[in-house]
Structure 1
């Protein structure tokens, strides 16, 4: 019997943000590729009121089509009003009000069996509201900040807990994330750990010397892959590498910390050794990772970072902090080191891996259990179980 899924995601790529939520896109494509599964994607776009809506970023989003084919998926992009900086608590009711007529119309034409909310906030509370209105059971997946931030913010924590309480089923990206959900009062028996995937054909072993030459690099290379925000810890890596001569640091990602990080590199005499690559297209990441000796990401919090798995699949060992599912991933010495979020500890781990690099094939073996096929199959099983329940059960 065909399973009809409405995937609800505020974390989904579009023409203006091709890297935004690309892991949700991959997961949804994996689900849609399953036999007897029909997926419709609802990717709401938040737009502020005039005159803020005239900003170039929002103007570009306003120009996106309301419905399109994206990577073989039918994607609807309804607009809803937002209040930048202060409006997080209002997103669920505003989004629900804006998208309910569309969902009602789609559901009346070809009824959905289940709603798959890909992020706990605001997607989870919106899915709960849609479920109560239309009688469709829903599932919510916890990924990281949706639990660590929105699940603890006094303005939104109750909505997160309610979404978890009334869901037909729950997903967590790691066992550690499941424990964090339980700490918020969610029932452990209703939470399934659902690991991410990685495209093993694209993220693969390559000749490191050739990859470095192709990118104009030489000598040891450390890469940090993540948004330039304090939580990711790029400043700690810059401070660590100031103690290691001749190591080049690649910062892949963009964000509000770029100016401060550039200034820090200058103060530490690192300006010539730190390259800000900005937001690199996802298709180009394998080449940059292939040129890296180490991927460092000393985050303050994570779920189970896709960047970790992608680096390992390229044979690149990790230096990461004790965050989220770090120990679930680094289950063998060849995979890298888990260290305190301190420059000295990071520096020592990087120096150790550079002095005695692990066999890239052994590093890659750590990531071989992750695939989008397995991810999609597990998601189908979970959603079929949810679809068999009454909304609110």
Structure 2
């Protein structure tokens, strides 16, 4: 979400708009700053729980002072990301109080989960319902980051066809590649299929399922998993010989990894709109993923599917999908996928979708 916000803000500034991003405070970040591209950032007082995944607002005089300063900028519109943060409700109230239209963009397509037991997840679901009800009461116009996300909002009685999709500057992403040679570093021969995974090493992303699939695929394939998370110790203990953990990668190294990949595979439980799918598509890499948010937008175009949208995320299904894609993929398909991503999933297209959402919104 932070990457989406930063890229959208930058695109809006390039189009001549002024942008102020209001978010929750972090200990290592200044309260107010202005970036080189002119985007202002204001961080409201908050407590960070669950490693920053659940910020809780600290309401009071300092928050009111910061929001008053934001109001003084002459705000014309408000975009709120996600339904369930305290800052989400704060943003909608702010829009209502200064009488400007507000769009709430949801980034989920399934219930929030922390992967730490059913009791905690049940509490999170109750929190989602409560916060979403507040959003509705404040008159937000709702949109989804993907078609799956827009459809998921019906769970809360919200009907919308508005989609403001995630996007990528494909040419820029390819151009920033570090050129790092992962095949050489990890001893993966050119004649082996290289399967890439990019994401948190957490149960909802399914890295353990991919490792099980790699055992089924055998020595003709190798996989590289980029990311960190709670599952890393478990994965290290049972790491197959044809799998490699490389930790978190910066954008330049991530671009280099995907430039060398033959297949991208993410056995994820749910996504709003997975940025890694866009990054793989920018390099023309076919994807094997379940039917999650963003999969159809990236992989399905003009009657073609660039990879495989799997019926489930079981290891055998992932392994079969990888085999099928490798056997059928062509350089022409790779060029078509790259062209589709650059043309149809670009930031100017997302800005246009945002404009359409504001045309549908009402002032609270």
TM-score, normalised to structure 2, is 0.83
Kindly state the Cα deviation for residue 78 of structure 1 after the two structures are TM-superposed: 2.7
The equivalences for 1:216-365 within 5 A come to: 217-218=188-189, 219-246=192-219, 247-265=221-239, 270=240, 272-331=241-300, 333-339=304-310, 340-359=312-331, 360-365=334-339
Q: Distance in 1 between matches of 2:212 and 2:175?
A: 29
Question: In structure 2, what is the Cα distance between the partners aligned to 1:98 and 1:252?
Answer: 40
Partners in 1 of 2:316 and 2:291 — Cα distance?
16
The alpha-carbon distance between structure 1 residues 39 and 89, as it changes in their structure 2 partners (threshold 3 A), is: closer
The 10-residue stretch of structure 1 (69-78 or 229-238) with the greater mean CA deviation from structure 2: 69-78
Aligned to 2:81: 118
Structure 1's 155 and 382: CA in aligned 2 closer, same or farther, altered over 3 A? Answer: closer
- What secondary structure does 1:155 align onto? helix
Instruction: State the alpha-carbon separation in 1 of the partners of residues 194 and 327 from structure 2.
Output: 13
SS at match of 1:38: coil
Distance (Å, rounded) in 2 between the aligned partners of 1:255 and 1:378:
33
Shift of residue 303 of structure 1?
1.6
1:199 maps to which residue? 169
* 2:150 alignment partner, one of 168, 178, 190: 178
Do structure 1's residue 379 and structure 2's residue 360 form an aligned pair?
A: no
Query: Is the partner of 1:320 in helix, strand or coil?
Result: strand
Structure 1 residues 162 and 276 mapped into 2: Cα distance closer, same or farther (>3 Å)?
A: same
Q: Answer yes or no: is the 8 Å Cα contact 1:301–1:323 preserved in 2.
A: yes
1:186 to partner: Cα distance: 1.2
Measure how far apart 1:351 and its partner are: 1.6
1:43 alignment counterpart? 23
Equivalent residue of 1:227, what SS? Answer: coil
Residue 104 of structure 2: SS of its match in structure 1?
strand
Secondary structure of 1:373's aligned partner: helix
Shift in CA distance, 205/291, structure 1 to aligned 2, threshold 3 Å:
farther
Alignment check: 8 A CA contact 1:334 1:358 kept: no
Summarize the Cα distance change of 1:165–1:327 in structure 2 as closer, same or farther, 3 Å threshold.
farther
User: Which whole-Å CA distance do the structure 1 matches of 2:193 and 2:39 have between them?
Assistant: 44
Deviations 1:219-259 (A, max 9, x none): 21111111111111111100000112222211111111111
Q: Which residue of 1 aligns with 2:6?
A: 25
Distance 1:86 1:106, change over 3 A: closer
Q: 1:70 to 1:282 in 2, by over 3 A?
A: farther
Q: How big is each residue's C-alpha offset from its partner over 1:328-347, in whole Å with a ceiling of 9 and x where there is no partner?
A: 43325551112221111111
Match of 2:129 among 145, 150, 157: 157
Q: Which runs of 5+ in 2 are unaligned?
A: 114-122
CA distance in 2, matches of 1:277, 1:379: 36
Distance 1:135 1:206 in 2: 42
Residue 114 of structure 1 deviates from its aligned partner by: 1.7
The count of aligned residue pairs is 343
* Larger mean Cα displacement after TM superposition, 112-121 or 238-247: 112-121
Unaligned runs of 5+ in 1: 1-10, 12-20, 46-60
Judge conservation of contact 1:205–1:315 (CA < 8 Å) in 2.
no
Answer whether contact 1:205 1:290 (CA < 8 A) is retained.
no
Calculate the aligned-residue CA RMSD, in Å. 3.1
CA distance in 1, matches of 2:308, 2:359: 38
Q: Distance in 1 between matches of 2:321 and 2:258?
A: 18
**TM-score normalised to the size of structure 1?**
0.77
